Structure 1
């Protein structure tokens, strides 16, 4: 199992709503799932920038995570997320 941290700064809530409708199914195509997601975020150490929303994603392995982000069939789904504002996804491992 490998995890990814997604950080979102939302500028277009309607694009994010459209992304959310497709996100779980897109993740599932590569064995991924949303472990936790929230817009209620608080720094507990240091002073990191706080995004509008964050999610912890899981995948069976690194290849599955890379397959998800690089899958040409999912380009439209990733475009919805990117259109919603700034998004950073960090693979943990």
Structure 2
């Protein structure tokens, strides 16, 4: 199992609502899922730039995560996520 941290700064809430409807099935295509997602984040140390939405994603392995982000059939889903505002995803491993 491998995890990814997603950080979203939302400028387009309507796009975020549309993305949420498609995110789960898109992740599932590659064995991924949302472990936790929240708009309620707290800095534990330092002064990080807190996101409007943070999510912890899981995948069976690194290849599955790379398959998800590079899947040409999911381009529109990834473009929709990016249209919400700033979108950063970091693979942990």
Do the two structures share a fold, i.e. TM-score over 0.5?
Answer: yes
Q: Paired residue for 1:87?
A: 87
> Which residues in structure 2 correspond to 1:64-79 (within 5 Å)?
64-79=64-79
Q: What stretches of structure 1 of length at least 5 have no aligned partner?
A: none
List 4+ stretches of structure 1 deviating above 6 A.
none
Q: Paired residue for 1:26?
A: 26
Deviation of the 1:44 alpha carbon: 1.0
Secondary structure of 1:26's partner? helix
Q: Paired residue for 1:8?
A: 8
- 2:90 is aligned with 1:58: no
C-alpha RMSD over aligned residues: 0.4
Q: What stretches of structure 2 of length at least 5 have no aligned partner?
A: none
Once residues 55 and 63 of structure 1 are traced to their aligned partners in structure 2, the CA distance between those partners, rounded to angstroms, is 20
Secondary structure of 2:44's partner? coil
TM-score, normalization by structure 1: 0.99
